[in-house]
Structure 1
């Protein structure tokens, strides 16, 4: 329903409104000027981004990307002009503009990206921006839920798709889309082809809301009407369609590609069309018809023949024009009457003649009635379906016939019924919308008519280049309004007759669908159940893991380390041929130091005094420092000695200032802790032995030996590495240590009861409490 918010005295959105209109308009003119050049040949521009990973900021401009770019910027101009009037006096309108432009940039980056990783980055930009746009009315619980649902569904699909991109890049040896598209035969013959295909389709199906991941898209109607018009006509939901079309030369042409896309796309188209008849809110009606369009596009991309791809690219343009116009019309109706309920709206043509004209132009194209471009699109879809072999022809033709019939009905519900008859009473007296809101739907409706009368224009500049990009080769594209008497024309006539009959019985059908829907599985409630299950799992894990016991945390971490690393060593044969050592080569002094270390470690585990344990660990550290000295590393030994002395002193001082707390640990020998300690020691020893058995690679050693003095003017290689070659790393470590010291100091000063306990009072010997 019409948005209700505090008004701000701002004309057409002020400066933010002007910027929002100017950006897509300028970009649209730029892309229009490129159209003749791109129609003849694709263009690629590239600049290095992460060359070590083969990632570049490259732009691939061909017919497919140009068609999407024109739809994004052209419809974006209409939407931003509309929203400047529709939301220009909203107190948060500048924030809305920033989200909308962020979304536009994300979509442009997605369709123009010439590198898979760049494409993924912009893919996620659209995910985040759509989350912000759908949840723009943040005070509404419905908006917040819908935004989160869209984010989680599409974001999860994007991450799954990223895995497919990484595998595909490793198979081809490059992330450049142009190279990948030229490696189709090798990819299809690769053992990982099916995994790559399924991972890519997971991302595409979530983005373009294919069944059974369709439920988030109608809920996205919680967004303001301009957002709905933009997302559903030319942008976010078409992202998955773009991905499937773009990857067709590399992943298409197999039976798996054909049947997955054709079956899921066809079912989504018909299923969504039936659900559209169930709705009373005409904005929700259009939301489900978007699902129908996405399913249809998916089905024809999967079919993969020349006619099927031509039909898909033509319908891409057709749907974008009429869907954007109808959403904007609904916004005008909502703005002018205060309601979107189809049973309430009647006779609006008397009060809103221009809105009625825009609605009629868009709806006639949606219904596939000549001379609109929608009629040509429907004819080509029927020809593509009839031209498929075997069962594919039957399935596609039946699905597109059923969907087209229901779209004819929906066109009547959305654009005929609200405007015909006598003017009915509405919550607000019906009145015509202002020109900024009318301009977009009128122009888009007029383009549907113009392209229908002059189809060769859209065919030459858009459909033919886009088809060439999707097929990976040239295809003859000849669009026409009249193709003579044929099977496609007969199906069109049957579509009109069946659609009219269902439209006449629409109210009764809607009532029956309501009864059936109540008994059918509800995917939206299923989503809530999934989230509730995840929350319950998180709560259970929290109760199990977050016990508040530091001892348990440490025991779990060390046990996990010993188990996983030890198992990996055994399963992967990390120990090689076994332990090889020369006991006779160990000097008695070294044995003495090792005995000192062993006694210190044993004392730290045996004693029940915390202070004695800390001191014993200091002995262990000093023993390690002696080993460094024995093996000619005095600088490292000095560092080790300083650390050990400081640790012992600081820990002793801190323990004196800690408040007295009752011990929660059990006294006596702790067999579990002893087992974990022994396991960690054995695994660490095994890892060290395995490393020492590995042939030593001297490339880095040789480099530092050669470069230390000439490049850094130092003969101590360790010091040179720390202060010259890895100076930034060392500085970062210093910063971390300083921050930790400041935090510890602040905690000790601010902790309740942290002041020293006076001598003679209880707790004065807290440092000697039994462990």
Structure 2
């Protein structure tokens, strides 16, 4: 499973070379991988349909309980099939849509990496693994949305998506860590078997809020819905992939995955139902305001995501069944319609439905695919969209006499507005009089209509062959969301429910949708006038928040970053001393009665040298003299190391002090050596007080540590294992070279870089003093 998940990253890494080697046909070769992955995941269908789950684990950071573990059940498998299956057609579609683009190889890098990241999200079983892939989807989508980085709108949309989804990702990480702490494991499949533990924790509310914050940001729930339509600045292959089966549904997947463990409470129910319903109506209503085919579809995606979240929140068998069916429905028709809209734009040069018309003769194949997808989107029998709408009404009606009526009315309104949007996307471009377009229209290349045709046909096939859809996909996903075995009886689907209320509600929805389409122009103008009158929205609010953060950052930097090292040291030492004193006073841990130990004469001499060196460094005006005095302090410390049988440390200290003094003297020879009246009396008193305070605090801490019980387990471990494990008798050397070798290597690297930098600065000073390369040669 691990090779299957990360294969997209590997292929993406070599995609530019494949494009250069194969040329214009590279997309057919690159599409082989997602197609093979689809076949691989399809092999799990029989077992998953019978209730089997598959788990694969590879050790990653075992000490922290982090594994690269993957989990295949009904929910994960359905998403994996959608990601790899639709991804196959998106790769092919890219070859036609971006044909001849000089950066198409780079685009494949982003696209295939994004596919791999999404597979990692839906298959991950470890919370940390999930988070890593979750953030990779945000990063790769940022690159995809901002692909046309020369345009400011693309850059803004990419940054906006990254900030919103990245911020939600941090909230998700906090929620996952809380769940792991409460449940005692980071494996999601194990956490979902402990609902009573999670619900009984005082951190349950925090867990739900944090997890839903991550899910809602990724799936564009109100009021965070604004980033998704703005992401339409990306090329159409990105839009089709993101909106049909991948990133924007990652939040829906997360909510469905967490339902067995976090679901069942009033907080969970009301959060999902209210936010989902509001998002559904907001997206469907704003879709009618748009005059861009991609934006119309984008806002209907917002509505669809809200519908999915609402249905998952309803829980029970009917809510889960409606969510499963609508997930399949939405993925098929939305992927088809986005690619069809891209084909229309590619062949006509415009996506404005007001400028399009009569294209069914010029683009018959694209029209056929779009028409089938539009019928499914409108919930017309015998498409899977009709079944989804019927089950949706069943789920809302079972909510209760009051809530059920309110939610059903809201769902009817949302579905009716979606039908209007389907008419705008399908009927406006392909019917009516032929309009003059920037480009002469003709049928798109096969790459642009292959995917739409297959997805539209699957929407029809899934409705006609509903028993297969029910047993292979719907029932296993319902079982995953409920945390039970697949219940094929509860998952039964029908094309004909009889003359029941859901059927009449479907007819009412269709009638309202047709009426809305007839009056679409008036509705659009009214919505535009209303939005202009309001004059504010979440997108503008985002700009205001970013502007506020930038203003605060500027002010904060002006105060904190003065450019003077002494200011930074004053603040650092003062805060350190204050917090340590506060801790000692409130928590304790300070020294008790202290007896003066016996001190040898040589130790008194070393201490005296340190005190005199420190005092001289603070009193002299000459920088050279101050450096020499500080060097005396370092040499005195080295003497103490010698007295306490640490010759290695003493030798290191002697070298460091010598090199420090020499280098600083070389540098300061190039700058004024005497600085008179550098600080006033007040500044000197302030520095003296801070210095004494820090010294006293350090002394108290060290005395408290010495008087306490020391944990010698680590020291004993090094003493016992130094010879048999590291084959060294000098324990200090063994610790530095073997037990903490990487740390020591890092220190050596830092010292080397610092030395080279100092050498470069000295050379630069000499170069400038000699008047440039003409006199002194190159630096």
TM-score range, shorter chain: over 0.9
Deviations 1:406-436 (A, max 9, x none): 1111111111222222222222222111222
Residue 583 (structure 1) aligned with residue 596 (structure 2): yes
Displacement after TM superposition at 1:640 (Å): 2.6
Q: Quick one: distance in 1 between partners of 2:769 and 2:506?
A: 88
Change in Cα spacing, 1:697 to 1:672, as seen in structure 2 (3 Å) is same
Question: 1:11 touches 1:89 (CA, 8 Å); kept in 2?
Answer: no
Aligned to 1:420: 431
Residue 173 (structure 1) aligned with residue 212 (structure 2): no
What secondary structure is seen at the aligned counterpart in 2 of 1:482? coil
Aligned to 1:735: 749
Q: Quick one: distance in 2 between partners of 1:643 and 1:373?
A: 76
Displacement after TM superposition at 1:149 (Å): 0.6
Deviations 1:118-138 (A, max 9, x none): 111111111111111111111
Give matches, 1:639-650, under 5 Å. 639-650=652-663
Aligned to 1:540: 555
Q: Quick one: distance in 1 between partners of 2:658 and 2:46?
A: 76
Q: Quick one: distance in 2 between partners of 1:187 and 1:85?
A: 50
What secondary structure is seen at the aligned counterpart in 2 of 1:583? coil
Aligned to 2:327: 316
Residue 402 (structure 1) aligned with residue 413 (structure 2): yes
Aligned to 2:611: 598
Q: Quick one: distance in 2 between partners of 1:599 and 1:579?
A: 29
- Ranges in structure 2 where 5+ consecutive residues have no aligned partner: 1-18, 772-779
User: Which of the residues 18, 26, 30 maps onto 2:28?
Assistant: 18
Aligned to 1:249: 260
Deviations 1:55-100 (A, max 9, x none): 1111100110110011111111121111111112111111111111
What secondary structure is seen at the aligned counterpart in 1 of 2:69? strand
User: Which of the residues 25, 28, 33 maps onto 2:38?
Assistant: 28
What secondary structure is seen at the aligned counterpart in 2 of 1:284? helix
Aligned to 1:527: 542
What secondary structure is seen at the aligned counterpart in 2 of 1:343? helix
Aligned to 1:155: 166
Aligned to 2:10: none
Displacement after TM superposition at 1:719 (Å): 2.4
Change in Cα spacing, 1:12 to 1:277, as seen in structure 2 (3 Å) is farther
Aligned to 1:39: 49
Change in Cα spacing, 1:377 to 1:734, as seen in structure 2 (3 Å) is same
User: Which of the residues 627, 635, 640 maps onto 1:622?
Assistant: 635
Question: 2:198 touches 2:204 (CA, 8 Å); kept in 1?
Answer: yes
Q: Quick one: distance in 2 between partners of 1:99 and 1:753?
A: 46
Q: Quick one: distance in 1 between partners of 2:631 and 2:40?
A: 71
Q: Quick one: distance in 2 between partners of 1:64 and 1:241?
A: 11
Aligned to 2:388: 377
User: Which of the residues 93, 96, 115 maps onto 2:107?
Assistant: 96
Give matches, 1:563-578, under 5 Å. 563-575=578-590, 578=591
Question: 2:284 touches 2:303 (CA, 8 Å); kept in 1?
Answer: yes
Shifted more, 533-542 versus 580-589: the winner is 580-589
User: Which of the residues 313, 318, 330 maps onto 2:341?
Assistant: 330
Aligned to 2:82: 71
Q: Quick one: distance in 2 between partners of 1:661 and 1:537?
A: 40
Aligned to 2:239: 228
Q: Quick one: distance in 2 between partners of 1:146 and 1:492?
A: 37
Give matches, 1:89-168, under 5 Å. 89-168=100-179
Change in Cα spacing, 1:663 to 1:314, as seen in structure 2 (3 Å) is farther
Give matches, 1:412-561, under 5 Å. 412-474=423-485, 475=487, 476-520=490-534, 521-561=536-576
Q: Quick one: distance in 2 between partners of 1:561 and 1:64?
A: 51
Question: 2:41 touches 2:77 (CA, 8 Å); kept in 1?
Answer: yes
Provide TM-score, normalisation by structure 1: 0.93
What secondary structure is seen at the aligned counterpart in 1 of 2:59? strand
Change in Cα spacing, 1:43 to 1:724, as seen in structure 2 (3 Å) is closer
Q: Quick one: distance in 1 between partners of 2:172 and 2:676?
A: 51
- Ranges in structure 1 where 5+ consecutive residues have no aligned partner: 1-8, 758-771
Shifted more, 720-729 versus 308-317: the winner is 720-729
Question: 2:195 touches 2:260 (CA, 8 Å); kept in 1?
Answer: yes
Q: Quick one: distance in 2 between partners of 1:424 and 1:612?
A: 87
Change in Cα spacing, 1:645 to 1:433, as seen in structure 2 (3 Å) is closer
Displacement after TM superposition at 1:537 (Å): 1.8
Aligned to 1:695: 709
What secondary structure is seen at the aligned counterpart in 1 of 2:690? helix
Displacement after TM superposition at 1:391 (Å): 4.5
Question: 2:623 touches 2:674 (CA, 8 Å); kept in 1?
Answer: no
What secondary structure is seen at the aligned counterpart in 2 of 1:218? helix
Residue 679 (structure 1) aligned with residue 693 (structure 2): yes
Q: Quick one: distance in 2 between partners of 1:264 and 1:748?
A: 63
Aligned to 1:654: 667
Aligned residues: 747
Aligned to 1:715: 729
Q: Quick one: distance in 2 between partners of 1:124 and 1:584?
A: 57
Provide TM-score, normalisation by structure 2: 0.92
Displacement after TM superposition at 1:460 (Å): 0.7
Change in Cα spacing, 1:714 to 1:134, as seen in structure 2 (3 Å) is closer
Change in Cα spacing, 1:644 to 1:488, as seen in structure 2 (3 Å) is same
Question: 1:13 touches 1:93 (CA, 8 Å); kept in 2?
Answer: no
Q: Quick one: distance in 2 between partners of 1:196 and 1:390?
A: 31
Q: Quick one: distance in 2 between partners of 1:19 and 1:566?
A: 67
Displacement after TM superposition at 1:572 (Å): 3.0
Question: 1:13 touches 1:84 (CA, 8 Å); kept in 2?
Answer: no
Displacement after TM superposition at 1:732 (Å): 3.0
Question: 1:10 touches 1:88 (CA, 8 Å); kept in 2?
Answer: no
